[in-house]
Amino acid sequence: MANERALNYEQIKKAYAFFSPFYDLLFDKIFYPGRVAAIALLEIKPQDRILEVGIGTGLNLSLYPRDCHLVGIDLSAEMLKKAQEKVEQYRMHNVSLLEMDASAMEFADDEFDHVLATYVISAVPDPVKVFLEIKRVCKPGGRIVFLNHFQSENPFLGTLEEAIAPICLRLGFKTDLKLRPLLEEVELTPEREFRVNLLNGWRLIRCLNQK
């Protein structure tokens, strides 16, 4: 998928190493409604194996049922340290955390029942590769749920997001990522789609993994 601006791994690692000490303070409550809705869309059953891509500081951890098996991955070691503190605090023996590049996952094909990615797709260097990896490791028919901000279709807002994109890149995320071309390239079709959070500015989408 063509995109004039791209993140790189060093930008991401530096940005989230910087954010990790106060990430929860900035982003917990403001994005909480979307996270709750995203976990609900997974429709997790007992013993399901769930992958969370970009688990960050583990803000979603307390929302998962205790009878599933959760694997969380993230590129940032500093963010994962915060997540591990929550795993220990909540005594979640059903959770494994791994430092891993989401565009080249070290998992077998069809390893997970469902996959979640919240506030992640605009913060990776190659969203297409990440989605293709998500499809690969998710079982056929599994639910792929993602929550993210995408560039507005409103001409004025879309232009504004393009204008501030270079600044946001330095902070570790893109504001000009377009949803529909991305979904077409990775051959994902939304089964459910909602707008959530402040001013309905984020999109929550569920797709069934059709291979």
Domains and CATH numbers, the chain: 9-208 (3.40.50.150)
47's torsion region: left (phi>0), alpha (psi -120 to 50) or beta?
left
Per-residue pLDDT of the chain (211 residues; tens, 9 = 90+): 444 456 666 767 776 777 778 788 878 898 999 999 999 999 999 999 999 999 999 999 999 999 999 999 999 999 999 999 999 999 999 999 999 999 999 999 999 999 999 999 988 989 999 999 999 999 999 999 999 988 666 655 555 556 554 555 555 566 678 899 999 999 999 999 999 998 788 999 999 999 7
Per-residue pLDDT, 159: 57
Structure pTM? 0.86
Render pLDDT for 37-68 as a digit per residue (tens, 0 to 9): 999 999 999 999 999 999 999 999 999 999 99
Find out whether 87 and 61 touch, Cβ atoms under 8 Å.
yes
Rounded to the nearest angstrom, the gap between the alpha carbon of residue 75 and the centroid of all alpha carbons in its chain is: 12
Query: Which structure tokens are listed for 173?
Result: 């995320």
Tell me the residue ranges of DSSP E strands in 12-111. 49-53, 69-74, 95-99
